[in-house]
Amino acid sequence: MIYLSLGQESIPAGVSAAVSAGKPWILGQHRAHATYLCFGGSREPLVDELLGLPSGCCGGMAGSPPIQDYENRILGHIGLIGDQVPVATGVALTNPEDQVICFFGDGAAEEDYVLAALGFAASRNLNILFVCEDNDLSVLTPTSVRRNWKITDVADSFGLETVEIADDPWLVAHWANRLKGRPALMNVQTCRDIWHVGTGNDGPPEWDRFQMTKDTMAKIGLRHESQAIEEEATAEIEELWAKRLQILFAN
């Protein structure tokens, strides 16, 4: 099973631009490839993990959902949606000097243990930033069918500082920076490009943040730079996959 973060990458990318000195603790959910790469994970062990190679970041034994890298303080998910929220709260409680950043989905926001943990983090004034990657979907069910409340309203009532924003990377970085050092929650509206699991899609996404970011870079005179970054990254990734697949088939 593979859970891709395509379309949602601007959230961890923006948050990673607002990290304090030193390494924060990072806890993500099952859709965390982008989170792993944005907070110090490397491409090769990620690809190897997806291919089940022993050189993968979890020894090739975990696959896509629990991607982790303990040396970079990225703790992997175990599969129970939202369970990382109480775990992250415990990490913040026991490491008061460290920054803790916890990502979860809008579906996970409905779990009782998530809400209890948000309340506890606010009561103890913990240094933790909760980031809800709100793609308006729990598997295939939109939020309007599932609930009549907003996670920002609930978190606000607990005493967390909250903000509701779109996944514009500059906006995400700005707010992640503003909300540092205290218990806070950002709900970031985003758009999943690909199916819940796997690599298919049901047509173009409602919005394409990657394209919008490229358009913005062009508008501010960085078209050439953004093209160069994309070409370089595409070539590197194609080469990386070709090499790792050769290793897989040689075994």
User: Does residue number 138 form part of the binding site for ligand TPP (CB under 6 A)?
Assistant: yes
Instruction: For the CB of residue 176, give the shortest distance to Mg ion in the complex, in Å.
Output: 19
Among 43, 146, 150, 196, binds ligand TPP (CB under 6 A): 196
Binding of ligand TPP by 79 (CB under 6 A): yes
Q: How far apart are CA 176 and CA 117, in angstroms?
A: 20
Task: Kindly state the smallest distance separating residue 156's Cβ from ligand TPP, in Å.
Answer: 20
- Choice from 14, 45, 56, 107 touching ligand TPP (CB under 6 A): 107
Stretch binding Mg ion (CB under 5 A), from 16-24, 41-49, 107-115, 157-165? 107-115
- Other Cβ atoms less than 10 A from the Cβ of 75: the count is 19
Q: Which is nearer to Mg ion, 35 or 99 (CB)?
A: 35
Q: Write each residue from 125 to 144 as x if it is in contact with Mg ion (CB under 5 A), else as -, in one continuous string.
A: ----------x-x-------
Other Cβ atoms closer than 10 A to 221: 8
Residue 139 binds which one of ligand TPP, Mg ion, none, with CB within 5 to 8 A depending on kind? ligand TPP
Residue 105 in the binding site for Mg ion (CB under 5 A): yes
Could you tell me whether strands 128-134 and 161-166 are parallel, antiparallel, or unpaired per DSSP bridges? unpaired
> Cβ closer to ligand TPP: 127 or 172?
172
- Give the 3-state DSSP-derived string for the chain, with helices as H, strands as E and coil as C: CCCCCCCCCHHHHHHHCCCCCCCCEEECCCCCHHHHHHCCCCHHHHHHHHHCCCCCCCCCCCCCCCCCEHHHCEECCCCCCCCHHHHHHHHHHHCCCCCEEEEEECCHHHCHHHHHHHHHHHHCCCCEEEEEEECCCECCECHHHHCCCCHHHHHHHHCCEEEEEECCHHHHHHHHHHCCCCCEEEEEECCCCCCCCCCCCCCCCCCCHHHHHHHHHHHCCCHHHHHHHHHHHHHHHHHHHHHHHHHHHHC
Question: Which of residues 81 and 92 has its CB atom nearest to ligand TPP in the complex?
Answer: 81
Q: Which residues is 132 bridged to in the sheet?
A: 104, 187
- Least distance (Å) between residue 138 CB and ligand TPP: 4
**Binder among 116, 137, 166, 212 for ligand TPP (CB under 6 A):** 137
Q: Does 242 bind ligand TPP (CB under 6 A)?
A: no
Question: Does 165 engage in binding with ligand TPP (CB under 6 A)?
Answer: no
Is position 9 an interface residue for Mg ion (rule: CB under 5 A)?
Answer: no
Query: Contact between 6 and ligand TPP (CB under 6 A)?
Result: no
Q: Which of 139, 145, 220, 242 binds ligand TPP (CB under 6 A)?
A: 139
Q: Site residues (CB under 6 A) for ligand TPP?
A: 29, 31, 79-81, 105-108, 133, 135, 137-139, 196
